[in-house]
Structure 1
Amino acid sequence: MRRFGKTLVTAVLAVAVGAGTAGGAPGAGRRAVTGPPPGSDAWRADTLPGRALPDPERAPAGEVARFFAGLDEGARKELLRRHPLVVGNLDGAPLPLRYEANRVAVRSTGEARYASLAAPDRQILAFDPRGRGQVAEVFGDAERAEHLAVVVPGADNDAATHDRPRAVGTGPAGMARALREAAGGATAVIAWTGYTTPVGVGPDAAGGRLAEAGAVRLARFTAGLDAAGTADPALFCHSYGSVVCGLAARHTDATDLVAVASPGMRAATAAKLRTGARVWAARGPSDWIADIPNVEFAGIGHGADPVSAAFGARRVPASDVRGHTGYFAPGTRSLAAFAAIATGGLR
């Protein structure tokens, strides 16, 4: 009976798992955007002289990288012109080509809410306008950086809110900017809102359905980075994003996996994540996520508490963090630790 009661509490409280607030309108039954990029049917029907194009859904990222390596600049630009949404989201394609393709793709939507993403100085590595929209942005030189970090956010994040004004160090882009500044110029950071996140409070945030879909996309995204020749990434996973990272862990080549303000990672222990990455966990003293019971039953709840001794993750100092979103605030002990993790200085 006690376990059943805790499960009921989880169903009520875990719905607040998110990257922004514990309030807002309920979000239930969101349809996850999955599968290949928009425009893939036209891409599949196209060819280059004497060459078939790699399938955007089934071709491994390494195969995509080899395909583009065999093209001259003219052929690359022609594919970009014909299929900007595919090229811009094709894991394994050269990063600068994806940036250029996504500028074209953003402009082609004609939507004011996305207009700022098309600025010449933006490095948009993924842009998918379907549903609420998905986006990934690079801060720094990901191709040449000695170190690479990827920020995986939680609920209430999408392409439309990517540029929304927020407090410093909050939101996907704000967390990425703060981490890059703290880590220094030899580190590039990617803000990856590459999955359909839960909205507000509701069953989506308490369940794993959206995280499961997101984990597939995160694994493919990191494979694309590897194929493009970047450094192996450290993943910084905030709130519901840590559920995504927990499910994707064994399918990535991450050096470090950092669960920040996590409701659970759908694993009983760090060892059961089945990853070679170092696993870290951070939670501040005033974070409401601590009130979420760490149980999983009938698909509700996300399991063991990553900051518990039994879970076995390394603890990140977070005694000065305020609330649920303050972990990347400049001057905090947590941000300093994150920077040290990203650069390999904290083991």
Structure 2
Amino acid sequence: MTVISYAQLRTTDPGPWRDTATAWRAWAATAGRWAAELRAHAARLSTFWTGSAADAAAGRLAALIRRLNLFRLGCWAADQALSEFAASLARARSMLAGTPAGVSIAGNGTVSGQPAVAVRDTAATVQAAVTIAARADGAAASRLGELIAGGTATPPAIDPPSCAATPAEVRRWWAALSPAQQRWLLATDPGRLGSLDGLPAATRDAANRLTLDELPARLPGLDALRDRLAEGDAARAYLLRIDPAGEGQAVVALGDPDRAANVLTQVPGMTADLASYGEELTRAERIAARAAELAPETATSTVMWLGYDAPDFVHEAASRSQATAGADGLRRFQEGLRATHLGPPAHQTVLGHSYGSLVVGSAAAQPGLATDEVVFVGSPGVGVDSAAELQVPPGQVWSSTSRSDVIQWAAVAPRSLAADLALSQAVPGGALLAFARPENDLYFGTNPSDPAFGARVFASEPDAGHLGYFKPGSAALDALTAIAVGRGDVIPR
């Protein structure tokens, strides 16, 4: 492991490393524009030029495009390595802020003062911060060294996995390829690689960025997605899936989930699509930012998983079909996270909001969902009436519903609605008695925030409504973050 001193850590600004990563991203974008021009020229030539000479020219243009793609892959690999180093450095430096009163740290990292317990804790924090920086430095140097070694790209001799292959099988297939063969496949067939659960996040990110450049610019949401992927001031975004079919699907991770100690997957609800993905990504980003504040000693990646067709209308949201289909994809995605993670298994959390909680509940109702925690917020019901029906230990099932969340009135079970209607007509003032209180008998099962359900219920602001669970400074956001970083014990039962 690289040796890093306390003095080096205190004086090393992560900003230049972050700026360098952004510059590599910009070079990739420039090469992408060149490749797009070549594709356009090739398409025009094919409309009026045929024959052996035309075929030779088309082959040369295809080779140039492939070389540009290989260059872009190298740019993104450097960007990823430097971005992760800058993020780790920033976390390590944040741990050194706020030295307790009466305690001082010398330039060589020696801690002194009183009380003794504060000195001991501060010394441990300094050592942990230096260790984080040293490991990050070593990892970045190794990744950049592999990139410099480079080499040519060569076609693979191993058949690709079948569509029925598990993420673990996909991971073994990819690992069996040489770096040169991996580069060839990324440069020539990015569309297929980008959707494969079981490939490393860095690999899928590069493949999907190549694919994104070839999608029509008119698709709603793509410009905003491209802007976020180019952004250098926020957490580095990894594009783990892009599908323009229908209203579009996207899976975006903030921070590399393969290298993070904590990984939270957020599943959005009704009306979520590619055009509105930014709002959902902002919610995931708030958890990531709060995690860096509450638990800087460990890396946390949050994933906005819009990997299913979310319902757009009430009649669609009244059906389980889209949740059932989404649950299969979610289970496979989570399995892929386990298969590609580096080092000890990450602490994985799956969070479902609104109709997304039904997707999560449907996934958790079957054995083998790769997660340590399941969280529901603003839920219309999760498909079961008890936490005991989920294949997750009850102590790892969480829920919160704000008093002002309309879901408790809008997603009432038909039998409860019939009972309320009967009560409203049976006695004077019955409508007030029937409809002035929220229901726990919801459309897709017992409200998971009802104590009878058996989940661990955490607080949310009374005025949070249906969307305020991710509001900065809120109790709900702090609780979601504590769960994501494995500190659920700090939340009162």
Report if aligned partners of 2:261, 2:347 keep a CA contact under 8 Å in 1. Answer: no
Give the Cα–Cα distance (whole angstroms) in 1 for the partners of residues 411 and 280 of structure 2.
Answer: 26
- Residue number in structure 2 paired with 1:98: 204
Give the Cα–Cα distance (whole angstroms) in 1 for the partners of residues 181 and 223 of structure 2.
Answer: 27
Report if aligned partners of 1:152, 1:193 keep a CA contact under 8 Å in 2. Answer: yes
Quote how far apart the aligned CAs of 1:91 are.
0.1
RMSD: 2.0
Q: Deviations for 1:187-213, whole angstroms, at most 9, x for unmatched residues? A: 1100110000001x3211011000000
- Residue number in structure 2 paired with 1:264: 381
Quote how far apart the aligned CAs of 1:116 are.
4.0
3-state SS of paired residue (1:225): helix
Matches within 5 A, 1:129-144: 129-144=244-259
Matches within 5 A, 1:198-213: 198-199=311-312, 201-213=313-325
Name the stretch that deviates more: 175-184 or 70-79: 70-79
3-state SS of paired residue (1:180): helix
Report if aligned partners of 1:85, 1:127 keep a CA contact under 8 Å in 2. Answer: no
Report if aligned partners of 1:207, 1:302 keep a CA contact under 8 Å in 2. Answer: no
Residue number among 256, 260, 275 corresponding to 1:145 in the alignment? 260
Unaligned runs of 5+ in 1: 1-46, 164-170
Give the Cα–Cα distance (whole angstroms) in 1 for the partners of residues 456 and 250 of structure 2.
Answer: 30
Report if aligned partners of 1:178, 1:330 keep a CA contact under 8 Å in 2. Answer: yes
Overall identity of the aligned pairs, in %: 34
3-state SS of paired residue (1:324): coil
- Residue number in structure 1 paired with 2:288: 180
- Residue number in structure 1 paired with 2:142: none
Indicate whether 1:312 and 2:430 are aligned: no
Quote how far apart the aligned CAs of 1:296 are.
7.1
- Residue number in structure 2 paired with 1:20: none
- Residue number in structure 2 paired with 1:273: 390
Residue number among 66, 88, 95 corresponding to 2:172 in the alignment? 66
Quote how far apart the aligned CAs of 1:120 are.
4.1
**Letter aligned with residue 174 of structure 1:** T
- Residue number in structure 2 paired with 1:283: 401
Q: Deviations for 1:255-278, whole angstroms, at most 9, x for unmatched residues? A: 111110000001010010122471
- Residue number in structure 1 paired with 2:303: 190
**Letter aligned with residue 246 of structure 2:** G
Give the Cα–Cα distance (whole angstroms) in 2 for the partners of residues 117 and 72 of structure 1.
Answer: 32
Q: Deviations for 1:21-43, whole angstroms, at most 9, x for unmatched residues? A: xxxxxxxxxxxxxxxxxxxxxxx
**Letter aligned with residue 172 of structure 1:** E
Report if aligned partners of 2:380, 2:447 keep a CA contact under 8 Å in 1. Answer: yes
**Letter aligned with residue 389 of structure 2:** K
Give the Cα–Cα distance (whole angstroms) in 1 for the partners of residues 194 and 157 of structure 2.
Answer: 23
- Residue number in structure 1 paired with 2:271: 156
TM-score (ref. length: structure 1): 0.79
Q: Deviations for 1:65-85, whole angstroms, at most 9, x for unmatched residues? A: 011111122211221223222
Quote how far apart the aligned CAs of 1:142 are.
1.4
Give the number of the structure whose residues are more often helix, by fraction: 2
Give the Cα–Cα distance (whole angstroms) in 1 for the partners of residues 267 and 291 of structure 2.
Answer: 17
Say if 1:67 and 1:180 are closer, same or farther in 2 by CA, change over 3 A. same
Report if aligned partners of 2:201, 2:256 keep a CA contact under 8 Å in 1. Answer: no
Give the Cα–Cα distance (whole angstroms) in 1 for the partners of residues 156 and 338 of structure 2.
Answer: 28
**Letter aligned with residue 131 of structure 1:** G
Quote how far apart the aligned CAs of 1:129 are.
1.2
Residue number among 124, 146, 154 corresponding to 2:239 in the alignment? 124
Say if 1:71 and 1:120 are closer, same or farther in 2 by CA, change over 3 A. farther
Report if aligned partners of 2:404, 2:462 keep a CA contact under 8 Å in 1. Answer: no
Q: Deviations for 1:204-228, whole angstroms, at most 9, x for unmatched residues? A: 1011000000000000010111111
Report if aligned partners of 1:318, 1:332 keep a CA contact under 8 Å in 2. Answer: yes
- Residue number in structure 1 paired with 2:192: 86
Q: Deviations for 1:293-325, whole angstroms, at most 9, x for unmatched residues? A: 55378xx93111111111101001113452100
Name the stretch that deviates more: 276-285 or 146-155: 276-285
Residue number among 156, 160, 182 corresponding to 1:76 in the alignment? 182
Give the Cα–Cα distance (whole angstroms) in 2 for the partners of residues 330 and 88 of structure 1.
Answer: 33
Say if 1:77 and 1:328 are closer, same or farther in 2 by CA, change over 3 A. same
Give the Cα–Cα distance (whole angstroms) in 2 for the partners of residues 161 and 303 of structure 1.
Answer: 28
Number of matched pairs: 290
Quote how far apart the aligned CAs of 1:160 are.
2.6
Unaligned runs of 5+ in 2: 1-153, 232-236, 416-441
Quote how far apart the aligned CAs of 1:231 are.
1.4
Report if aligned partners of 1:103, 1:117 keep a CA contact under 8 Å in 2. Answer: no
Say if 1:128 and 1:337 are closer, same or farther in 2 by CA, change over 3 A. same
3-state SS of paired residue (2:276): coil
- Residue number in structure 2 paired with 1:109: 215
3-state SS of paired residue (2:240): strand
- Residue number in structure 2 paired with 1:51: 158
Report if aligned partners of 2:156, 2:177 keep a CA contact under 8 Å in 1. Answer: no
**Letter aligned with residue 93 of structure 1:** L
3-state SS of paired residue (1:330): coil
Which entry has the higher C-alpha Rg, 1 or 2? 2
Name the stretch that deviates more: 102-111 or 73-82: 73-82
